[in-house]
């Protein structure tokens, strides 16, 4: 080898140059764990592997949202009870607001008796929960067959002092004397106590606006007389009730009831009783009355309400309606009677009269009723326009 061609010093191999800056390389080589907090947590020490970063805006978290907005948000979940229940577990604020929405409407309709029973227990075990209840629907009446459920429902009714809408279906039909009906349907006493100021633990139903009560023919108007004495009820719907004769010593004073909407559907009620109710209303705006004969049981014991025939006279209803001629806007009347019953009870024919002219009812906007109720067809009346306002 030619010594003149050897390098004067030893040469080292040069490393390749990367286009990425060395700080960026070092950044890829370091890994840390960062914990983000939803509250204003102070920064931890440098040696702490979990670094908490405070929020620039402390109110930018669930707890910082105004409660009015939270309430509006939760109200959109009114139909999703599971979601509301989960939100109630987030914190105390969500629990307070969520509970208000969660128990605002208690719907036991079409639920079995065990579900309805648990619903009553939830209300009766917590007075604060009971205060949140505004709407209550106690279902198809299966609960009423159990003594425990009837007692719990009565207690829940007493505790729900802010109730606004109430729907009761009681299918208990005991063949008992009238004096024992309230004892069997114990919840009736809650209304009696409210109306007459009896007892210490009384729900005055000061906010109750809408009331629906349904039975299977085991309840009468006399048994529920106290509901017409409640201070704020404007709408009452009664289904499948029986009252075969005028009520002696009707306890509701004339023009004392703030009732505006009265619906009596599928009821076996004497028209004299209808007149008594209408006399107690201040200014009725809508009346619906469907007279049916299906509850009549002529061979029942005398103490059974359904053993007596209830007479219906449209002339009597019309006379009672005259009081409300300046307020009535809707009128819905009808009757469903078995033709065989008519032939048996009224072999010489049945006289019910007619409503006559409605011209003085200036505010009447809708009327649904058979022509035979409005016109005396046997007398040859045919001019329908002459009867309407």
Topology of 90-350 in CATH?
Answer: 3.80.10
For residue 15, is pLDDT > 80? no
Cα separation values, 331 from 163, 283, 316, 386, Å: 28, 14, 15, 17
For residue 313, is pLDDT > 50? yes
For residue 301, is pLDDT > 80? yes
Tens of pLDDT, residues 30-63: 444 544 444 444 444 444 555 555 656 665 666 6
Question: Residue 330: what pLDDT?
Answer: 97
Q: Mean of the pLDDT values across residues 370-382?
A: 88
Q: Mean of the pLDDT values across residues 120-142?
A: 86
Question: Residue 118: what pLDDT?
Answer: 81
When mean pLDDT is compared over 279-288, 303-312, 378-387, the highest value belongs to: 279-288
Q: Mean of the pLDDT values across residues 270-282?
A: 98
For residue 177, is pLDDT > 70? no
Question: Residue 73: what pLDDT?
Answer: 81
Mean pLDDT of the chain: 82
Question: Residue 17: what pLDDT?
Answer: 46
Look at 125-129, 170-174, 363-367 and tell me which has the smallest mean pLDDT: 170-174
Domain boundaries, the chain: 90-350
Question: Residue 228: what pLDDT?
Answer: 97
Whether residue 52 contacts residue 37, with contact meaning beta carbons closer than 8 Å, is answered with yes
For residue 142, is pLDDT > 80? no
How big is the chain, counted in residues?
389
Per-position b or e across 76-88, b if 16+ CB within 10 A of its CB = ebeeeeeebeebb
pTM of the model: 0.79
Question: Residue 56: what pLDDT?
Answer: 64
Please give the backbone phi and psi of residue 136, each rounded to the nearest 5 degrees, phi first.
Answer: -135, 125
Torsion sign (Cα): 248, 258, 313, 167: negative
């Amino acid at each position: 080898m030619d010594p003149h061609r050897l390098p004067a010093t030893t040469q080292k191999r040069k490393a390749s140059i990367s286009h990425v800056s060395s700080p960026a390389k070092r950044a890829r080589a370091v890994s840390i764990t960062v914990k983000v907090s939803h509250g204003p947590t102070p920064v931890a020490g440098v040696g702490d592997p979990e670094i908490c970063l405070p929020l620039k805006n402390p109110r930018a978290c669930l707890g910082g949202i105004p409660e009015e907005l939270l309430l509006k948000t939760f109200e959109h979940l009114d139909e999703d009870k599971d979601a509301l229940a989960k939100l109630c577990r987030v914190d105390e604020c969500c629990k307070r607001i969520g509970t208000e929405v969660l128990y605002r409407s208690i719907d036991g309709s079409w639920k079995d008796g065990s579900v309805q029973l648990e619903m009553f227990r939830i209300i009766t075990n917590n007075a604060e929960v009971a205060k949140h209840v505004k709407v209550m629907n106690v279902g198809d009446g299966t609960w009423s067959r159990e003594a425990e459920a009837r007692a719990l429902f009565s207690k829940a009714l007493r505790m729900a002092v802010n109730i606004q809408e109430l729907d009761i279906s009681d299918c208990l039909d005991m063949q008992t004397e009238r004096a024992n009906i309230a004892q069997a349907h114990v919840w009736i006493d809650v209304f009696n106590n409210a109306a007459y100021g009896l007892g210490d633990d009384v729900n005055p139903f000061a906010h109750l606006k809408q009331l629906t009560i349904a039975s299977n023919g085991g309840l009468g108007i006399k048994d529920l007389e106290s509901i017409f004495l409640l201070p704020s009820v404007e709408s009452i719907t009664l289904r499948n009730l029986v009252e075969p004769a005028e009520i002696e010593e009707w306890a509701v004073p004339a023009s004392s009831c703030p009732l505006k909407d009265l619906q009596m559907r599928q009821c076996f009620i004497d028209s004299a009783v209808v007149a008594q109710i209408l006399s107690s209303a201040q200014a009725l705006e809508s009346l619906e009355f469907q007279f049916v004969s299906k509850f009549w049981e002529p061979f029942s014991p005398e103490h059974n309400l359904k053993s007596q025939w209830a007479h219906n006279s449209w002339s009597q209803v019309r006379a009672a309606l005259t009081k409300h001629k300046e307020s009535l806007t809707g009128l819905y009347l009808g009757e469903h009677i078995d033709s065989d019953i008519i032939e048996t009870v009224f072999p010489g024919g049945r006289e019910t009269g007619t409503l006559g002219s409605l011209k003085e009812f200036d505010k009447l906007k809708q009327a649904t009723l058979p022509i035979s109720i409005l016109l005396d067809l046997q007398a040859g009346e045919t001019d329908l326009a002459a009867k309407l306002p």
